Amino acid sequence: MQLTREEERMLAGAEGRGVQKAMQLLTALGEVFGAERLVQITSAQVAGVSYGNIGDAGMELLEDWARSGAKARVAATLNPAGMDLSRWREMGVKKGYHDRQLRIIKAFSRMGVRATCTCTPYLVGNLPKRGDHIAWSESSAIGYANSVLGAMTNREGGPSALAAALAGRTPLYGLHIRENRRATAVVEVEAGAELLTAFDFSVLGYAVGRALGAGIPFFEGVRRADPDRLKIMSAALAAAGGIAMFHIRGVTPEARGQALAGLERVGIGRREMEEARLRLTAEGSPDLACIGCPHCSIGELGDIARLVRGRRVAEGKGLWVWTSRGVYARARRRGYVGAIEAAGGRVFTETCMVVCPLEESGYRHMITNSCKAAHYVPSTAKLKATVADLHAAVGSVMEG
Ligand code: F3S
């Protein structure tokens, strides 16, 4: 790889062993993927935060990196942790887990990575511009950044995103190169697919992810899609197919001018949507509704508050809502948090149903409007999972 003089110095250790380690990781990655050089980034988003996922080995590695004194050179934020940092006891999290989780957050903070602990960094100030090179590692946020914001990121792992933050650079390959951002398949969304709710967009993403497996789909026939719908679809595309970018005619910034002739074409209609939904539907009656994968926006929290106002969560059931601390603060001021908690629900921050130890909650069957959450929860938390739209999911745990 071609390195600048400054990058050579960083790699040789002139800026300390933490930066050197970051450069070693980035140049090794660049060699593997055939990158000719590094490119400067404006933003990093770092996953691999939950103690449940990275364990003692990951914690010790981060602490060692932090001791080196290396600091993030760009805006850098964290993905969700394994617990709500202040209300962890209410989630059934054990003290030993809590203490280790705090050590992880502290190590990241020492390296200058802001402990936003959210998968929606773009809702709390880490908002790259179109054309910016960035290094993000949360799969739903990667799809959103590439497709909706028009920023450029590969699917980074936690360590490579952290290394990019500390070096201010990432290897130039994959989705950092314009030609690699072209559509690779056309998805014809048939009128029967009826895309109305955010849940419909999640199911569409899941169906397309399963049908294509990978690549960059170009959606035809999606007429309206607001940011919340695109956010939840990005998550489902990533969960079902590892898809890091998509285009929607008339909606996303890089859709115009795509060459579609000769591309594989896939039709998605009512039948494919129903198949995707059934694949994520377990037998039995759910006892915990989880909303907020990806983390809720202020608008989504308002929708939930209106839905539960004047109602109560039934005895033995739960309504857990997940968001970032930044959005929580706004929702609290508007009375949304109060309305949800008055109904017996809980609004948790800094974590989510997939990365916290949900099995400790005592619930056995989760219902959610997010296909990504229903895809992962059964394997991580060993709970059954079912998908439904917001009204049905919340309604299933309310009295009456
Ligand atoms: Fe976010 Fe957790 Fe879903 S990180 S996208 S809420 S699995």
Buried b (16+ CB within 10 A) or exposed e, 272-300: bbeebbebbebeeebbbbbbbbbbbbbeb
Q: What is the distance in A from the centroid of ligand 1 to the CA of 263?
A: 31
Cβ-contact 387, 203 below 8 angstroms: yes
> pLDDT by residue (tens digit) across 272-285?
999 999 999 999 99
Which residues are 217's β-sheet partners? 185
Distance, CA of 160 to CA of 154 (rounded, Å): 10
Q: What is the distance in A from the centroid of ligand 1 to the CA of 221?
A: 27
In the predicted model, is pLDDT for residue 353 greater than 90?
yes
Distance, CA of 161 to CA of 276 (rounded, Å): 32
Question: pLDDT value at position 224?
Answer: 85
> pLDDT by residue (tens digit) across 318-341?
999 999 999 999 999 999 999 999
User: Ligand 1, from 123, 232, 372: best to mutate by most atoms within 8 Å of Cβ?
Assistant: 372
Question: pLDDT value at position 399?
Answer: 96
- Give, using CA atoms, the residue closest to atom 1 of ligand 1: 294
In the predicted model, is pLDDT for residue 162 greater than 90?
yes
Mean pLDDT of the chain: 96
Report the sign of the C-alpha dihedral through residues 278, 282, 283, 286, in that order.
negative
Q: Please, which pLDDT band fits residue 129 given cuts at 50, 70 and 90?
A: very high
| pLDDT over 70 percentage in the chain | 100
Q: In what order do the strands lie in the sheet with 247-248?
A: 247-248, 217-220, 185-189, 264-268
| pLDDT over 90 percentage in the chain | 95
Q: Please, which pLDDT band fits residue 122 given cuts at 50, 70 and 90?
A: very high
Question: pLDDT value at position 98?
Answer: 96
Question: pLDDT value at position 30?
Answer: 98
Question: pLDDT value at position 183?
Answer: 98
Distance, CA of 59 to CA of 108 (rounded, Å): 10
- Ligand 1 atom closest to the Cα of residue 47 is 4
Q: What is the distance in A from the centroid of ligand 1 to the CA of 300?
A: 15
User: Ligand 1, from 355, 376, 383: best to mutate by most atoms within 8 Å of Cβ?
Assistant: 355
Question: pLDDT value at position 194?
Answer: 82
Question: pLDDT value at position 223?
Answer: 86
- Measured from the CB, is residue 355 less than 6 Å from ligand 1? yes
Q: Please, which pLDDT band fits residue 24 given cuts at 50, 70 and 90?
A: very high
Q: What value does the mean pLDDT take over residues 51-59? A: 95
- Ligand 1 atom closest to the Cα of residue 140 is 5
The SS3 assignment for 76 reads strand
In the predicted model, is pLDDT for residue 193 greater than 80?
no
Cα diameter, the chain: 69
The SS3 assignment for 390 reads helix
Please, which residues have CB within 8 angstroms of residue 190's CB and are 6 or more apart in sequence?
221, 267, 268, 269, 270
Q: What is the distance in A from the centroid of ligand 1 to the CA of 118?
A: 8
Q: What is the distance in A from the centroid of ligand 1 to the CA of 209?
A: 17
Question: Closest by alpha carbon to 308, among 343, 271, 260?
Answer: 343
Q: Is 4 exposed, middle or buried (0-12, 13-18, 19+ CB in 10 A)?
A: exposed
Tell me whether the omega of the peptide bond preceding residue 294 falls within 30 degrees of 0, making it cis: yes
Q: What is the distance in A from the centroid of ligand 1 to the CA of 303?
A: 19
